Structure 1
Amino acid sequence: MLRSRIIPCLLIHDGGLNKTERFKPGKYVGDPLNAVKIFNEKQVDELVLIDIDATSKRREPDFARLRSIAIESRMPLCYGGGVTTAEQAARIISLGFEKVSVSAAALERPNLIREMATAIGSQSVVVTIDVKKGGLFSGENILTHNGTRKHKISVTDWIKQASLLGAGEIVVNSIDRDGTMSGYDLDLAKRARSATDLPMTFMGGAGSVADMEALINTVGVCGAAAGSLFVFKGAFKAVLINYERPKQLVA
């Protein structure tokens, strides 16, 4: 039986971990391997790692770093950043990752989703959609390349297309809520959830366990992902890696 997952999401920038706010330059929060070791001890449901430099700098994933992370990890791993071919995705899976996420490359060449599904199985293909509200009458836009490139397709249409092409999971990330710890965009979550029956994860805005409970109560079984919530402590955002599940998900 499917259950909701509570998922830390770590951003890799210049080799270290970085926490952004609304996709603007963020705060250094530590070393990726050290974070993996701590999350191992906390028995997290899943860990997502995104290299936010790879796509914008047009470079492929750092396979050596990913190998080190996979060797150290005792939890399911998902990686995104710089993946442009099914061969790269297969290599990442061979290192010990369970899932590979694509964003910009899939929007530029949607058939990549089908190619990846053939190579590694649909269950391992994650399509991540970064969403930002437009002007008063322009609705929402899908952005890539760290929020600098706009795409014309609507969020729900892209979710439906990605699902038909063979994606196994959809991740929807609110740029407007990123790093704000002000709660998830529940309206966006409801509309995205209505577009597909695929497993879905939401990111952007989680500031408390109560925010995660509100998300799960609104859309049902899903992944509730967060960055700041799991790496900051207190009003001054001291760096402290932590992990807590909503009481309804504690076995």
Structure 2
Amino acid sequence: MLAKRIIPCLDVKDGRVVKGVNFVNLRDAGDPVELAALYDREGADEIVFLDISASNEGRATMIEVVRQTAGEIAIPFTVGGGISQVEDMKRILRAGADKIGINTAAVLNPQLISDGARRFGSQCIVVAVDAKFNPAWGEWEVYTHGGRKPSGIKALEWVKEAESRGAGEILLTSMDADGTKDGFDLPLTSAVSRSVGIPVIASGGAGKPDDFYEVFTEGQADAALAATIFHYKEIAVPDLKRDLKSRGVEIR
């Protein structure tokens, strides 16, 4: 079994890290370069950098912030936001990213997953999925454009297609749990983890060490991503790792 990973997420808007609840009510959380360097020193396993306004505003990801951030850290670094073609991926990887996160563009053009995996390798392609429970369906629906638009696509079907097209990982965000600190969405996470054979990164809802333990055991996630609790110093990465190790979770 692969060791579980702890991944701080930097949601960036207009050059600053921000955090909200259920994708709205954003507040400032600091400088992305400084925060990434801090998490690297603290022992985070990876960093995810998401330019959360890029897809909605039709902008390219901020290359310079990516370059500065990559220059400050030695751990793997995933970048997403506004990446809509293979040339965008190439620019981000050249700026120092190790992996590319694609969400809206992949839903609109699934061939982008295939093209990216063929050009750069599956290990580079992370398909981010923002999912919300649809009561009428009795299952989860994929949302695009930073959680603003329902796609009409079932999340479990989409993650299977993403895997078949060459995605190396799924970054799964529960819109229902996002920013609430009430715990990860265990039914969603376990359903997706059982549906695919590639690693699943759980995101949305982390509030305490127990939440990470549960998402690794009950949710069967391979990695857990969080923002609020790390940015506002509610839980420190080293303390979290010690807690998980003490409970028998194999952690890096």
> TM (normalized to structure 1)?
0.92
Cα distance in 1 for residues equivalent to 2:227 and 2:181: 9
Distance 1:220 1:147, change over 3 A: closer
Aligned match of 1:242: 236
Aligned match of 2:18: 18
Runs of 5+ unmatched residues, structure 1: 235-240
Verify the 8 A CA contact 1:7 1:46 in the aligned structure 2: yes
Amino acid at match of 1:200: V
Q: How many residues align?
A: 245
Aligned match of 1:176: 176
Aligned match of 1:111: 111
Amino acid at match of 1:70: A
Cα distance in 2 for residues equivalent to 1:140 and 1:219: 16
Aligned match of 1:77: 77
Query: 1:40 Cα shift?
Result: 2.0
SS in 1 for 2:126: strand
SS in 2 for 1:55: helix
SS in 2 for 1:56: helix
- Which is worse superposed, 85-94 or 115-124? 85-94
Verify the 8 A CA contact 1:93 1:120 in the aligned structure 2: no
State the Cα deviation string for residues 131-177 of structure 1 (Å, max 9, x = none): 11234555322111122111112111101111111101011100111
Amino acid at match of 2:25: P
Matched, 1:148 2:148: yes
Amino acid at match of 1:6: I
Cα distance in 2 for residues equivalent to 1:193 and 1:98: 23
Cα distance in 1 for residues equivalent to 2:188 and 2:98: 27
> TM (normalized to structure 2)?
0.92
Runs of 5+ unmatched residues, structure 2: none
Aligned match of 2:8: 8
Cα distance in 2 for residues equivalent to 1:221 and 1:174: 13
Q: Percent identity?
A: 33
Matched, 1:203 2:203: yes
State the Cα deviation string for residues 51-101 of structure 1 (Å, max 9, x = none): 001000001111112111111112110011000011111221222211100
State the Cα deviation string for residues 184-205 of structure 1 (Å, max 9, x = none): 1111111111111111111010
Verify the 8 A CA contact 2:70 2:97 in the aligned structure 1: yes
Amino acid at match of 2:13: H
Cα distance in 2 for residues equivalent to 1:249 and 1:230: 21
Aligned match of 1:38: 38
State the Cα deviation string for residues 1-24 of structure 1 (Å, max 9, x = none): 621101111100121000111000
Cα distance in 1 for residues equivalent to 2:138 and 2:43: 42
Matched, 1:55 2:49: no
SS in 2 for 1:60: coil
Amino acid at match of 2:171: V
Aligned match of 1:102: 102
State the Cα deviation string for residues 194-237 of structure 1 (Å, max 9, x = none): 11111111101011111111111114350111111211245xxx
SS in 2 for 1:119: helix
State the Cα deviation string for residues 20-44 of structure 1 (Å, max 9, x = none): 1100021101011110221121121
Instruction: Give matches, 1:182-197, under 5 Å.
Output: 182-197=182-197
Cα distance in 2 for residues equivalent to 1:153 and 1:133: 12
Matched, 1:123 2:123: yes
